[in-house]
Structure 1
């Protein structure tokens, strides 16, 4: 199991962080694609430390999956917070036209973007 490496040591080796982060992202994406949004949230939340140590693209992808999952589980505040984290990582981030048109996360993203622009 990818998440078991280094368990209990309190430290993650720099070489294993991207591997664990990518494996976690892949598992979370599979859960998301299967409609298991709570599992997506649990997977990404359980490996937040590894994801935060990964490259920016991996972090953005993870936070985007979290945002979408939070929106789909009616946790709009957390959804907006994840979009804010994405904008902190990449201020030029934008959703695709199809994603912008989504009735839940489109407005949540625009809210986060407006708030980010004011900060």
Structure 2
């Protein structure tokens, strides 16, 4: 998942919060034209957020299928986890997946696992 998608999603969520706050203020003032304007804007932002989350989910799903197609995988030892730099240099092409990341949750791992094209 690219940082650009995360940043854009965060900006949309911030904009949504601002609009909801302004909608509440306009509703308290009983300004119907402004209320209608913000309701339309909130609906538009919600649609954009849903689209971005769908794109994010699609990307993670593609990454998960790519990782699962790799011919070799195994759970990493504590020593390998402790010195990740050394481990990644010694095993070329390894992809390390943590269970708490979106990718880790997507593929359903319970421990930090390494995926590689050849045995390590």
TM-score for the superposition, normalised by structure 2: 0.30
TM-score for the superposition, normalised by structure 1: 0.31
Choose between structure 1 and 2: higher strand proportion.
2
